[in-house]
Amino acid sequence: MRNLLLARKWGSAFVWALPVLFLALFYFYPLGSIVVFALQRLAQDGGESLRDLNWAYLGRVFGFTVYQATLSTILTVIAGLPAAYLFARYEFRGKALLRSLSTIPFVLPTLVVAASFNALFGPRGWANLAALNLLGFREAPFTLTNSLTAILIAHVFYNLTIVLRLVGDVWSRLDPRLAQAARCLGATPWQAFWKVTLPLLLPAIFSAALLVFIFDFTSFGVILILGGPRYATLEVEIYYQMIALFNLPAAVLLSLIQLGCTLGLTVIYHRLSEIVTRPLPLASQKRVLARLSRPSQKIFAFLIIAFLFVFQILPLLALVGRSFVYAGWERGERGLSIPTLSFTAYQEIFINRRASLFYIPPIRAIGISVAYGLITVFLGLLLGLAAAWFLSRQHDSPALERLRRSLEPLILLPLGTSSVTLGLGFLLAFGKAPFDLRSSPLLIPLAHTLVAFPFIVRSLLPALRSIRPRYHQAAAVLGANQWEIARRVDLPIIGRAVLVAGVFAFGISMGEFGATALLTRPEYPTLPIAIYRFLGQPGELNYGQSMALSVLLMSITAAGMILIERFRSGEVGEF
C-alpha cells in the first residue's frame, strides 16, 4: 500500500516535472544565457549600446506592432467564426478535405506565402493578368504588396485555421439544444448566438485569439516581405539590432519587452478565462451535425466555402499553377502571351546539375522534414499532454497548486519570444558543456517542440477543462487510479483535441524556418531550407525549383493532415 502511494506520488510528479524540466532546459536556460551575455556586453561598453536608442522611433514601432496585431486578430476571429460554425454544425461533402486544406497556410514558410500571394495578387499575378487580359483593365487593379492590407490579409490567411480548429472543436461539442432552447424561448437565431452560444464559446475564442495575437504580435516574415520597409514590428527591429547592428543589449532589451507583453497578456487572459470557463454540456457529434437543407443554410455554406476558397485555397492553387506555368508572358510591359506548361522545375530538383556539395535530394529533405515533424509530434504530445493534464485540475498540495498557477502563463512564453534571440540563446547554451548539443540533429526537433508546445497545451486545455470533475470522481470511486483516469476517461474525451494538437505540431515543424535556419546543419536539410536555398539565387529555374519544392512541402503537409483527418472522421458518433 505504501509503495502504491509512493508510486502515485512519483507518477504525478513526473507529470509536472517533465514539462517544467523541458521549459527550464530548452527555454529559460538559453534565454538566460543570452540575457547574461548581453549584460556582460553592456557592462563592457559602459551602457553605450543602450544610450543612443531612438526611443521615439521604437515607441512608434511598438505602437504599430500592437495596432496591426490587434487588427489582425479581430479580423481573424471575425472571419473564422462563421467557418467554425459551418464545420461544427453541418455535414457536407468535401468537409474533411476543406478542413485539411485550410490548415496548410498555417505551416507554410513566409517566403512561400509571399510567393503564393504574388502568384495570385502580384503585379503579374493571376488576378491582375485576368483583369488585364479578360476584363480589359488598362492598369493592374490589385496592388496588394507593401501595404497594411497585405499584412492583414496574410495574417488572416495564416491564422484562420487556429480559430477554425480551436473554436470549431468546442463548438462541435457544444450541445445544440442550448441554442434551440433559446429559440423556443423566443430568441431569434442572432439573439440565440449572442446570448447563449457566444458566451459559452468565449473561453475557446479567447484562447484562439490569444494565440493569434501572439503570432501576429511577433510577426516577422509577413511584415518584412508583404508589408515592406515602411512597416516594422518589434520582431523586425530585434532582428535589425541583433543581426545588422549586433547591438545585443538593445536586441535583448526589446526581446524582453516583447516577452513582457506576451506575459502580461497571458496573465490577463487567465484572469478572464477563469471567469468565463465552465464545464460545457457535451453532445455527441451525431446529434450535432445537420445536413444543409434550407436554402438559407445552403447560401450561408456557399458563402463560407467561397470565402475559404478564395482566401485559403486559391493562393495555394496559384502557387501550384506558378510551379508548372512558366513566365510565358513576354518580358517588358506587354500583357500575357500564352503561358507554357512545363515540368522542368520538377525534373530539375532531382538533378544535381552543378555537382554541388550542398545539393539537397528532395526525397532526403522530405524524409528529414517528416522525421522532424513526427519527432515533434511525439515529443510535443508527450510534454503537452503531461502539462495540460497537470494544469487542468485542482491539486491538493498548496505547493503544486502554486506551481500550477505560475506555470500556466509561462507555457505560452516560447511563442512570444523573438526567434532570433532564442536561436542565438540556443547557440550560447548548447554550444558548450554541460549541454553540448551543437552537433546533435535532435536540436532542431527540440526547437520545433518548443514552438509547438504552447500550441499543443492550448489546444488540449479547453477540452480537458470541459471534463466535469464528476467524471473523475466517478472513475475514482469505480477504482481507477490517476493513470487509469487519464487513460480511460480523459484521453477518450479529449481525443479530438489531441488530434488537433498533433496536426498543429506536425505542421509547425514542417514549415518552421526561423529557428531551423539558425541551428541547421547541411547534412540535415529540411524542405523550407531547400526552398530558401533556391530562392536566394537569380535565374528562372531557381525560382521554379523553389516553387516546385514549395508545392511538395504543401502536398506532404496536406497528406499528413488528411491522414490525421481520417482518424478523426472514424471517431465521429462514437464520442
Taking the C-alpha atoms of residue 219 and residue 215, their distance in angstroms, rounded to an integer, is: 6
Judge whether 251 and 538 are in contact, CB under 8 Å.
no
- Kindly tell me the sign of the dihedral angle through the C-alpha atoms of 307, 312, 318, 320: negative
For another protein, the closer CB: 114 or 413: 114
Whether residue 33 contacts residue 428, with contact meaning beta carbons closer than 8 Å, is answered with: yes
Residue nearer to another protein on the CB measure, 405 or 432: 432
**Smallest gap from residue 13 Cβ to another protein (A):** 23
Nearer to another protein, 160 or 368 (CB): 368
Give least dist CB 3 to another protein, A: 28
Query: Could you tell me which residues come within 8 angstroms of residue 61 by beta carbon, excluding any fewer than 6 positions away?
Result: 232, 233, 234, 236, 237
Taking Cα atoms as reference points, which of 517, 510, 545 lies closest to residue 531?
A: 545
Q: Measured from the CB of residue 558, what is the shortest distance to another protein in angstroms?
A: 17
- C-alpha 508/C-alpha 165 separation (Å) is 15
- Residue 342's contacts (CB-CB under 8 Å, 6 or more residues apart) are 324, 325, 326, 544
Which CB, 307 or 359, lies closer to another protein? 359
Please, what is the minimum distance in Å from the beta carbon of residue 209 to another protein? 18
- Shortest distance (Å) from residue 135 CB to another protein: 18
Q: Which of 23, 159, 170 is nearest to 464 (CA)?
A: 170
Taking the C-alpha atoms of residue 376 and residue 453, their distance in angstroms, rounded to an integer, is: 9
Measured from the CB atom, the residue of 265 and 498 that comes closer to another protein is 498
Q: Least distance in Å: CB of 536 to another protein?
A: 6
- Of the two residues 293 and 406, which places its CB atom closer to another protein in the complex? 293
In the complex, the smallest distance separating the C-beta of residue 376 from another protein, rounded to whole angstroms, is 10
| The pairing of beta strand 290-291 with beta strand 340-341 | unpaired
Environment class of residue 317 by beta-carbon count within 10 Å: exposed (0-12), middle (13-18) or buried (19+)?
middle
Nearer to another protein, 264 or 522 (CB): 522
